[in-house]
Amino acid sequence: MRTYCKKEKYDVIVIGAGHAGCEAALAASRIGARVLVLCIDLDSVALMACNPSIGGTSKGHLVREVDALGGEMGIAADECLIQMRMLNTGKGPAVHSLRAQMDKRRYHERMKSALENDPNITLRQDECAEILTHGGAVSGVRTALGAEYDCRACVICSGVYLKARVHTGEYHRDRGPSGLAAASLLSDSLTGLDFKLRRFKTGTPPRIMGSSIDRSKMQPQYGDVPIPHFSFMTDSITREQSCCYLTYTNRETHDIIRENLDRSPMFTGAIHATGTRYCPSIEDKIVRFEGKDRHQLFIEPEGLSTDEMYVQGLSTSLPRDVQEAMLRTIEGLENCVITRYGYAIEYDCIDPTELNAALMSRRIPGLFFAGQINGSSGYEEAAGQGIYAGINAALHINGREPFILGRSDAYIGVLCDDLTIKGTNEPYRMMTCRAEYRMMLRQDNADLRLTERAYSTGIIAPERYDRLMRKKALIADAMTAVSRSVPADERLNAFLSERGLAEVRGSIRLDALLKRGGIGYNDLSLMYELPEIGREAAEEVEVEMLYGGYIKRQEEQIRKLRALDDMVIPNDFDFNTVRNLRTEARQKLSAIRPENLGQASRISGVSPADIAVLSVCLKSVSTGENQGGGNGFGI
């Protein structure tokens, strides 16, 4: 057969153009790689198939970290938001998180434009059918249309498309999210490469017409003013914000759901996949929380160019007629008109413990995975893995050491460590409680933690690096300025009295005043001569003063953690030869192949006693002693 096209060669091929795929492609390109992005439908680039929002508790941290690493999600979100709020402001700064409502169509167009206008990226609509290898390493891909492309690294970001199947009541079809086509071919290729595939499930609520709801019966939810922003490169945002609304389910709603559980695919056995624990369907909520009389629902606009609204909190796969009946029992939605019915979708994903710390296959060099194919859920989790895998794919093809983030470095580090070391038996969602060092890993200091470190990879633009250096200098100047003492006077004590704080006698250091709480850097700058440093730098100074003791304790914990992470386990280390390791520990360690003692300590089924035995053995290996069998360990 005559071929008319010359085979194209790329450095990196990215499969999928969702939130993981976009970040992976842009990251690899910004480090200098020539990238091909294969997408089953170009109308699905950065598609928000579920909720029209970015951020939220812990997820806002991930967006800030993606931005600090030179990613696109934060910048695009700032440009396309229609409302922004800071969540958890009644708690400490460790759990403050931004959440923004998006104009979902504009966000898709904005991210697609970023890919199209990158000179190193080729964006093409085609389905990946097969991963090609040569000499055990990835060498290219073959598509459904018969094209073959060579590459030196490949990042699979297939989202929920692999053999996807949609369920609404008795309706079951092999299709992807939002009525798009499923990816039916790649799963078999992965199985042929000995990846063990599992079935996971997620879902989405119905959409309704905004003109058909009664806003007077619901509680308005306004955005913050001034408007916060995700990206450290955004100076300010000034625009009119859209309003969201809060309403609740009730006993009548719950009765309708209970009466029709036998028609829900979740309960009839039609769905065989594992669902999300922390984002359950409404029918699952009713069964699990039987004594609860109501559940929150947020009515959120899907964009400025549409009247459709998203019913956050009502994810369901119940039949069409049941969805209509239950919606009309809810205050403010009595006359609502449904435009799109809710559905559940199940799909293939891999066991992420088959990946190393850089999200590369342990068996097939150059083959990376990111996003929901790794068993995670959520746009933000996908974007975090995408930029991480994209960076490491670009470094891999250049023979450079991988860029590794640990649990003490970033929420992205926690996310990837949990997936690759602990694995997951259900869709994984990032939460603040998963981060042991969350006081250090705040959303406000993501740039201070990550940008300078990522600079060596080549992904950080000079403008971003220079901005960080200026911010660090301002913080240092401010820290010096607040270390001085000031005499107590009537103005200071009147201010303290007004804030309900004890008056000062004699003199006091300005940083001691900041440690009292209820006093900000800008408050002090009105009374004393202090450097003008801006809101973000001032926030860093305030947090350092107020929580310095906690931060120092976490720094000590991190030092101990890094001592374990620094104890490297050789690639060819045979765990079966180590005496006194329990059988379960040997099996788990041999299967997962941790790269260091820190990773080994986080494997389910490996006990502290096993780690103590392994530590002694590794020390003997490093000093040249026998590994296990004849060394006489009596531990």
Helix, strand and coil in the chain, % to nearest 5: 40, 20, 40
My answer on whether 581 and 616 are in the same domain is yes
122 lies in some domain? no
My answer on whether 472 and 551 are in the same domain is yes
My answer on whether 543 and 615 are in the same domain is no
Side-chain-side CA neighbours of residue 495 (13 Å): 16
Q: What is the pLDDT of residues 446-486, one digit of tens each?
A: 999 999 999 999 999 999 999 999 999 999 999 999 999 99
| pLDDT band (50, 70, 90) for residue 635 | very low
Nearest to residue 346, comparing CAs of 189, 172, 225?
Answer: 172
Angle, alpha carbons 450-423-141 (nearest 5°):
80
| pLDDT band (50, 70, 90) for residue 627 | very low
Nearest to residue 382, comparing CAs of 115, 132, 16?
Answer: 16
My answer on whether 546 and 583 are in the same domain is no
Q: What is the pLDDT of residues 49-66, one digit of tens each?
A: 999 999 999 999 999 999
pLDDT over 60 at 633, yes or no:
no
My answer on whether 507 and 529 are in the same domain is yes
> Taking a C-beta distance cutoff of 8 angstroms, is the pair 440, 562 a contact?
no
My answer on whether 531 and 570 are in the same domain is no
Three-state DSSP class for residue 252? helix
Nearest-Å Rg of the Cα atoms of the chain is: 26
466 lies in some domain? yes
pLDDT for the residue 3: 66
Host domain of residue 476: 462-556
pLDDT over 60 at 21, yes or no:
yes
pLDDT for the residue 625: 53
Choice between 324 and 614, residue whose per-residue pLDDT is larger: 324
Asked which of 556, 588, 611 is the last residue of a domain, the reply is 556
Element (H, E) at 116: helix 104-116
114 lies in some domain? no
Nearest to residue 118, comparing CAs of 46, 36, 38, 63?
Answer: 36
Name the residue type at position 240.
E
410 lies in some domain? no
pLDDT for the residue 147: 96
My answer on whether 496 and 527 are in the same domain is yes
How many angstroms from the chain centroid is the CA of residue 498? 42
pLDDT for the residue 628: 41
Q: What is the pLDDT of residues 144-171, one digit of tens each?
A: 999 999 999 999 999 999 999 999 999 9
Specify the pairing of strand 367-369 against strand 153-156. Answer: parallel
> Taking a C-beta distance cutoff of 8 angstroms, is the pair 312, 300 a contact?
yes
Asked which of 506, 527, 556 is the last residue of a domain, the reply is 556
Asked which of 505, 537, 556 is the last residue of a domain, the reply is 556
> For residue 514, what is the domain's CATH number?
1.10.10.1800
My answer on whether 512 and 594 are in the same domain is no
My answer on whether 480 and 552 are in the same domain is yes
pLDDT over 70 at 115, yes or no:
yes
State the Cα–Cα distance between residues 195 and 246, nearest whole angstrom. 44
282 lies in some domain? no
My answer on whether 508 and 591 are in the same domain is no
| pLDDT band (50, 70, 90) for residue 353 | very high
Residue reference for tokens 């930029």: 387
**What percent of the chain stands above pLDDT 70?**
97
Nearest to residue 380, comparing CAs of 435, 322, 429?
Answer: 429
SS3 labels along 306-375: CCEEEEECCCCCCCHHHHHHHHCCCCCCCCCCEEECCEEEEEEEECHHHECCCCEECCCCCEEECCHHHC
My answer on whether 549 and 592 are in the same domain is no
Quote the DSSP letter at residue 596: B
pLDDT over 90 at 557, yes or no:
no
> Taking a C-beta distance cutoff of 8 angstroms, is the pair 255, 290 a contact?
no
Nearest to residue 245, comparing CAs of 83, 89, 90, 97?
Answer: 83
292 lies in some domain? no
| pLDDT band (50, 70, 90) for residue 203 | very high
**Around Cβ 139, how many Cβ atoms within 10 Å?**
17
27 lies in some domain? no
pLDDT over 60 at 517, yes or no:
yes
> For residue 604, what is the domain's CATH number?
1.10.150.570
Average pLDDT, the chain: 93
pLDDT over 90 at 571, yes or no:
no
Q: How many domains does the chain have?
A: 2
My answer on whether 552 and 483 are in the same domain is yes
